[in-house]
Structure 1
Amino acid sequence: MSTPTSADWLSHRSEIRVLDCTIRDGGLMNNHHFDDHVVKAVYDACVASGIDYMEIGYRASRKNIKLGEHGCWKYCQEEDIRRVVGENATALKLSIMADAGKCDYREDIPAKQESVIDLVRVACYVHQVPLALDMLKDARDKGYETTVNLMAVTTVGDCELEAALELLAPSEAQAIYVVDSFGALYPLQTRRLVQKYLQYAKAGGKEVGIHAHNNLQLAYANTIEAISLGANYIDATMAGLGRGAGNCPMELLLGLLRDPQYQLRPVLQCVAETIEPLRHELGWGFDLPYMLTGLFNQHPRAAIAYNAQPETGDIGAFFDSF
Structure 2
Amino acid sequence: MNNWLFGRDQILEIIKSLEKAKIDIIECGYLELNGIRNEHSTRFSSINSFEDIMSDVSPEIVNSQLFLMIDYKPELPFEEIPHKNNTKGCLDGIRLAFSKKHYKQAIKCASDLMEKGYKVCIQPMVTSSYKDQELLDLINLTNQLNPFAFYIVDTLGTMNNEDVERLYHLVDQNLNKSIKLGLHTHNNNQLAYSNSVEFLNIGNDRGLMLDSSLYGMGREGGNLNTEIIADYLNKSTGTSFNLIPLLQIIDNIFK
TM range, smaller chain:
0.7 to 0.9
Who is 2:168 aligned against?
194
What is the rounded CA distance, in whole Å, between the counterparts of 1:128 and 1:118 in structure 2? 24
Who is 1:218 aligned against?
191
How many residues align structurally?
243
Which residue of 89, 97, 117 corresponds with 1:123? Answer: 97
- The 1:270/1:67 distance shift into structure 2, 3 A limit, reads closer
Q: CA offset at residue 31 of structure 1? A: 2.8
| Structure 1 SS opposite 2:245 | helix
The question of whether the paired residues in 2 share the 8 Å contact of 1:32 and 1:74 is answered with no
| Structure 2 SS opposite 1:94 | strand
The question of whether the paired residues in 1 share the 8 Å contact of 2:67 and 2:91 is answered with yes
Alignment deviations for residues 185-225 of structure 1 (CA, whole Å, 9 cap, x no partner) = 0011111111211112235x211001100000000111111
Q: CA offset at residue 260 of structure 1? A: 4.1
- Structure number with greater Rg is 1
Alignment deviations for residues 52-90 of structure 1 (CA, whole Å, 9 cap, x no partner) = 11111122231xx5798x945243542344324536122
- The 1:254/1:240 distance shift into structure 2, 3 A limit, reads same
Equivalent residue runs for 1:83-102 within 5 Å:
83-86=53-56, 88-89=58-59, 90-91=61-62, 92-101=64-73
Q: Give the superposed CA RMSD.
A: 2.2
Who is 2:43 aligned against?
73
The question of whether the paired residues in 1 share the 8 Å contact of 2:97 and 2:123 is answered with yes
| Structure 1 SS opposite 2:173 | helix
The question of whether the paired residues in 2 share the 8 Å contact of 1:56 and 1:94 is answered with yes
What is the rounded CA distance, in whole Å, between the counterparts of 2:215 and 2:108 in structure 1? 35
What is the rounded CA distance, in whole Å, between the counterparts of 1:257 and 1:66 in structure 2? 39
- The 1:66/1:94 distance shift into structure 2, 3 A limit, reads closer
| Structure 1 SS opposite 2:67 | strand
What is the rounded CA distance, in whole Å, between the counterparts of 2:37 and 2:9 in structure 1? 22
Q: Identity of paired residues, percent? A: 26
Residue type at the aligned position of 2:8: D
What is the rounded CA distance, in whole Å, between the counterparts of 1:227 and 1:72 in structure 2? 30
What is the rounded CA distance, in whole Å, between the counterparts of 1:66 and 1:269 in structure 2? 31
Residue type at the aligned position of 2:93: L
| Structure 2 SS opposite 1:182 | coil
Which residue of 170, 175, 200 corresponds with 2:144? Answer: 170
Q: CA offset at residue 173 of structure 1? A: 1.5
Residue type at the aligned position of 2:129: T
Long gaps (5+) in structure 1: 1-28, 277-322
Who is 1:266 aligned against?
245
Q: CA offset at residue 155 of structure 1? A: 2.3
TM-score, normalised by the number of residues in structure 1: 0.70
| Structure 1 SS opposite 2:165 | helix
Long gaps (5+) in structure 2: none
What is the rounded CA distance, in whole Å, between the counterparts of 2:228 and 2:51 in structure 1? 27
* 1:206 and 2:179 are equivalent in the alignment: yes
Who is 1:287 aligned against?
none
Q: CA offset at residue 170 of structure 1? A: 2.2
- The 1:239/1:85 distance shift into structure 2, 3 A limit, reads farther
Who is 1:82 aligned against?
52
* 1:103 and 2:103 are equivalent in the alignment: no
| Structure 2 SS opposite 1:178 | strand
Q: CA offset at residue 124 of structure 1? A: 1.4
- The 1:254/1:163 distance shift into structure 2, 3 A limit, reads same
TM-score, normalised by the number of residues in structure 2: 0.87
* Higher RCO, Cα 8 Å, sep 6+: 1
The question of whether the paired residues in 2 share the 8 Å contact of 1:76 and 1:96 is answered with no
Q: CA offset at residue 181 of structure 1? A: 0.2
